Amino acid sequence: MDADKTNFKKEGFGWWSATSRRAQGLLLVVVLLLGGCAKEEPVGLHKDQPPHGGTPVALGDNYHIEFVLDAASGTLSAYILDDEMEEFVRSGMPSFEVTAKVGGAEQALVFKPVANPATGETVGDTALFTAQAGWLKTTKTFAAVLKSVTLDGTTFTNVAFNFPKGSGAD
């Protein structure tokens, strides 16, 4: 039995075992050090930005609608987005309405779903809605109220906003 232990050491297995433990320890230290080197965004510098450069309107803590005006065609697009305005949120809504105050009169905008074959979105499963009105060709700012929107079972009603400033602005 003693001969086996001596033979084991002569062949270098004891050395390999010690070296292996050192290598594993060194690898663990490197992994732990590199794992802590991930870039982190400085606190307070993250700002949610609408992806299309439009008007963001917050819906509670979990959603936004970004309104984007194409004045040439008189079309106002509405993109439903997550709380960070990074991901689109599909909806099955058949439509929703915004009432705008323009020149002292109320104007209704009815937003209808838009299909997009490139993304697989269909009417009834889309994040894009559009409304069209002639007055949108000449009116660049207005106060508005989003009447009612239901997303993932939560209904948001009478959400006031300013176009183009967004929600929380007069």
Is a pLDDT exceeding 90 seen at residue 98? yes
Domain boundaries, the chain: 2-35, 55-163
Contacts of 146 (CB under 8 A, 6+ apart): 57, 65, 96, 97, 98, 156, 158, 159, 160, 161
Q: Give the pLDDT score at 102.
A: 92
Q: Give the pLDDT score at 111.
A: 98
Bigger pLDDT: 165 vs 20: 165
What is the torsional sign of CA 107, 73, 160, 113?
Answer: positive
pLDDT (mean) for 113-132: 94
Residue 68's pLDDT band (cuts 50, 70, 90): very high
**What is 55-163's CATH number?**
2.60.40
- Residue count (the chain): 170
pTM > 0.85: yes or no: no
Strand partners, 64: 58, 81
Neighbours of 165 (CB within 10 A): 14
CB 67 within 8 A of CB 167: no
Neighbours of 6 (CB within 10 A): 10
- Return the exposure string of 7-45: e unless at least 16 CB atoms fall within 10 Å of the residue's CB, then b: eeeeeeeeeeeeeeeeeeeeeeeeeeeeeeeeeeeeeee
